[in-house]
Structure 1
């Protein structure tokens, strides 16, 4: 409750400063609209169903790319943590791709795949897979040495050892990676839509609004992007991660 109250006060302060600048700052109202104009436009977009359609389209692409990232990132990270060969094979590639921003990949994928949704999905997948791989790798590698010894003394080996020891120990780190990967997927989805060919999407609508100098539309969509990000992270993943760490908190994350 204290965090929510602090966040609400922060948002209120931003709103007051914005209104003062819009009213008294002498800015062009077309480029610096008031909050009344922004939320009025948002209300009309909600009433028409446009905002819902654009948000669902972007979320669909994001979750598709995110699902691919999970299916690739978690197994690869676990393999790297338990195999020196896999670590030597994939480690340099992961370290190379990790610091690269999503938008830096856009020209490359546009040249390879054109202005298509395939390019957007691949950008989302690669960008969100990196933190998933790194945290899963770290979690599965830094298992407390006592656990394998205890498991060995009890005859727990092979698949049972993986399911009973490795996976539970790495699960807190995996959840941290999934949470970071989701945030990266959301950002990459918005950025990739600036260049992908599609009929709907928050990024696509923002890019169109820029051409018509519809600043109230752009700012309305930014509010929606921020709201969706908060819901995904704070209301869904943060409690899930906290329960996972409380239940299986045997390992650490990066």
Structure 2
């Protein structure tokens, strides 16, 4: 019986994977065919096989892994600073109405300012070094985590707090045993959005000015009309972004097994 259930689960996952690959696979086939038939310019739209050849060459030389490591470290550091700050401040503002009155209007005002408008200021204040890039990524990662954590705390049933008072829970115990578990769906959603925003801000930071990283690789390739390398950089950004999102979704499936939600 267990074996049959496991087999059905594996088949369902395989079917889901195949369906997810169907559209990109068809697009790549059409793209390759258009390149072979010379319907598109090979300079502007190199074929997928040509791009794959560039990818292999960059992996063999170690160039791609070097720049990828730099980008991942930047994104991870920025996300750690911004995501952690957003989580803590979201909890604080969600738990205390005075903190909301004092800080939330300012945070919401800053949230509406486009990051591209702030980027020149970051460069003026902190230069083209690592600090400006990490701070820009941190700012992008902060707001999704803050907003979703705040909403998660405020969505906790108020009757649970009444029970906690009857049981004489300390504030710390209320947060760890009541608030965080109840707000977890929103917090994990904030984590997903925060990761994706951090990755997008990394692209902006590296394209604006960097001498290392995947963004620099794309800019450098654009200057020398190495379109295949540009596509490789875009593919790396998309792949790492999708991988990080899949990891958080896997975390959601493990931590939120108790939810009986609609599956479609």
TM score, norm. by length of structure 1: 0.91
1:50 counterpart (27, 51, 63): 63
- Cα deviation, 1:59-97, whole Å, max 9, x if unaligned, reads 000000001012211110001101112212222233223
Count of aligned residue pairs for this structure pair: 247
Q: 1:54 Cα deviation (Å)?
A: 1.1
1:135 counterpart (127, 148, 160): 148
Alignment partner, residue 235 of structure 2: 223
* SS of structure 1 residue aligned to 2:40: coil
Alignment partner, residue 238 of structure 1: 249
Q: Which moved more, 1:16-25 or 1:168-177?
A: 16-25
Q: Hey, what's the Cα distance between the residues in 2 that align with 1:245 and 1:94?
A: 29
Runs in 1 of length 4+ with deviation above 4 angstroms? none
User: Which stretches in structure 2 are left out of the alignment for 5+ residues?
Assistant: 1-12
1:104 correspondence with 2:103: no
Change (3 A) 1:20 1:96: farther
- Cα deviation, 1:152-198, whole Å, max 9, x if unaligned, reads 11111322222221222222211111111011111111221112333
Q: Hey, what's the Cα distance between the residues in 2 that align with 1:39 and 1:49?
A: 15
- Cα deviation, 1:227-253, whole Å, max 9, x if unaligned, reads 11111111x110102222225x59xxx
Alignment partner, residue 83 of structure 1: 96
Q: 1:99 Cα deviation (Å)?
A: 4.1
Q: Bigger relative contact order, structure 1 or 2, given CA contacts below 8 A and separation 6+?
A: 1
Judge conservation of contact 1:103–1:188 (CA < 8 Å) in 2.
no
For the aligned residue pairs, the C-alpha RMSD in angstroms reads: 1.8
Q: Hey, what's the Cα distance between the residues in 1 that align with 2:213 and 2:95?
A: 40
Judge conservation of contact 1:80–1:137 (CA < 8 Å) in 2.
yes
Alignment partner, residue 207 of structure 1: 219
Q: Hey, what's the Cα distance between the residues in 2 that align with 1:243 and 1:175?
A: 12
* SS of structure 2 residue aligned to 1:45: helix
* SS of structure 2 residue aligned to 1:121: helix
Alignment partner, residue 9 of structure 2: none
Judge conservation of contact 1:117–1:196 (CA < 8 Å) in 2.
no
- Cα deviation, 1:10-56, whole Å, max 9, x if unaligned, reads 11111022123323454331111111211100000011111111111
Alignment partner, residue 20 of structure 1: 33
Q: Hey, what's the Cα distance between the residues in 1 that align with 2:24 and 2:117?
A: 31
TM score, norm. by length of structure 2: 0.87
Q: Hey, what's the Cα distance between the residues in 1 that align with 2:39 and 2:177?
A: 65
Q: Hey, what's the Cα distance between the residues in 1 that align with 2:256 and 2:36?
A: 48
User: Which stretches in structure 1 are left out of the alignment for 5+ residues?
Assistant: none
Q: Hey, what's the Cα distance between the residues in 1 that align with 2:103 and 2:210?
A: 32
